[in-house]
Amino acid sequence: MFKPTRTTTNHWGGSSNATTHLLGGMHYLGLLRIARRDSGIRVYSAQEPAAVVRDAPTRRAHIDALIDIIVRTYAPLPAASLSALVLRLRSKPS
């Protein structure tokens, strides 16, 4: 069984297992999901990549839904900040 020996400094200034820190970061980035918990311990699984939407109407509908979530979450939002977010969402993916 793999027993990692390296530790890192966590967000609260204490030490954490480096593997736990790495898995938490991958979960935050959306690369992993928590499949279940065994006695309180997280068991991760790979996150399936989302299907890329190529047609314009569906893409616009998804963007509009994201903008609605942003407005509901961060309202009142300054116009400049909202405009910057909308422009970023509507730019062509690379």
pLDDT surpasses 50 at 1: no
Q: Is 39 left (phi over 0), alpha (psi -120 to 50) or beta?
A: left
Cα(20)–Cα(30) distance, integer angstroms: 15
pLDDT in tens, 35-78: 999 998 899 999 887 777 778 888 888 888 988 888 888 888 88
CB 45 within 8 A of CB 30: no
- Tell me the pTM: 0.45
pLDDT at res. 36: 93
Tell me the domain boundaries of the chain: 7-46, 56-90
